Structure 1
Amino acid sequence: MNRSLSYHWVMPLPLLLIATYLLDVQGLDLRLADAIYAFEGNSWNLQDSWLLETVIHKGGRMLVGALILLNLGALASTWLSQSMRSYRAGLGYLFGAVITSLLIVSGLKDITHISCPWDFQRYGGEQFYAPIVNAIFGSGTVRCFPAGHASGGYAWVALYFFCRLYKPQWRMAALSVGLLLGMAFGLSQQFRGAHFLSHDLWTLAICWYTALASYQWLFRHRTAAA
Structure 2
Amino acid sequence: MTLENDSSHWMWLKLLCLTIIATLIFEHSQFDIRISELFYTNGQWLIQKGAQPYAFIFYDGPKTLLILSAIYLLAILIVKYRKSSNNTYIANSKFNKFIVPFSIREISYLLIILIAVPSTIALLKGVTHVSCPNHLTLFGGDLPYLNIWQNMLTKTDVKCFPAAHASAGFSLYGLAFLPTLHKYRYRIFEIVTVLGWTMGLYKMLFGDHFFSHTLVSMLLSLTIACALAGVFFKRAAISS
Same fold (TM over 0.5): yes
Instruction: Note closer, same or farther for the CA distance 1:189–1:110 as it changes in structure 2 (3 Å cut).
Output: same
Structure (1/2) with the larger helix percentage: 1
* Aligned match of 1:218: 232
Aligned residues: 217
User: Does residue 124 of the first structure (1) align with residue 140 of the second (2)?
Assistant: yes
Is the partner of 1:4 in helix, strand or coil? coil
Tell me the alpha carbon deviations over residues 35-85 of structure 1, each in whole angstroms, 9 at most, x when there is no partner. 1112xx431251232133233122222122122122223323323457878
* Aligned match of 2:86: none
- Over the residues paired in the alignment, what is the CA RMSD in angstroms? 2.6
1:24 to 16, 22, 27: 27
Q: Which runs of 5+ in 1 are unaligned?
A: none
Is the partner of 2:155 in helix, strand or coil? coil
* Aligned match of 1:193: 207
Correspondence list, 1:163-178, <5 A: 165-178=179-192
- Overall identity of the aligned pairs, in %: 26
The structural deviation recorded for 1:34 is: 0.9
Q: Distance in 2 between matches of 1:108 and 1:20?
A: 13
Give the stretch that moved more between structures: 183-192 or 86-95. Answer: 86-95
* Aligned match of 1:106: 122
User: Does residue 181 of the first structure (1) align with residue 182 of the second (2)?
Assistant: no
The normalised TM-score by structure 2 is 0.79
Tell me the alpha carbon deviations over residues 98-120 of structure 1, each in whole angstroms, 9 at most, x when there is no partner. 20111111111112111100000
Instruction: Note closer, same or farther for the CA distance 1:36–1:109 as it changes in structure 2 (3 Å cut).
Output: same
Q: Which amino acid aligns with 1:112?
A: T
The normalised TM-score by structure 1 is 0.83
Correspondence list, 1:143-158, <5 A: 143-158=159-174
Is the partner of 2:189 in helix, strand or coil? helix
Q: Which amino acid aligns with 1:195?
A: H
Instruction: Note closer, same or farther for the CA distance 1:181–1:216 as it changes in structure 2 (3 Å cut).
Output: same
The structural deviation recorded for 1:9 is: 2.9
Greater RCO (Cα-Cα under 8 Å, separation 6 or more): 2
Correspondence list, 1:30-41, <5 A: 30-38=33-41, 41=42
Instruction: Note closer, same or farther for the CA distance 1:23–1:51 as it changes in structure 2 (3 Å cut).
Output: farther
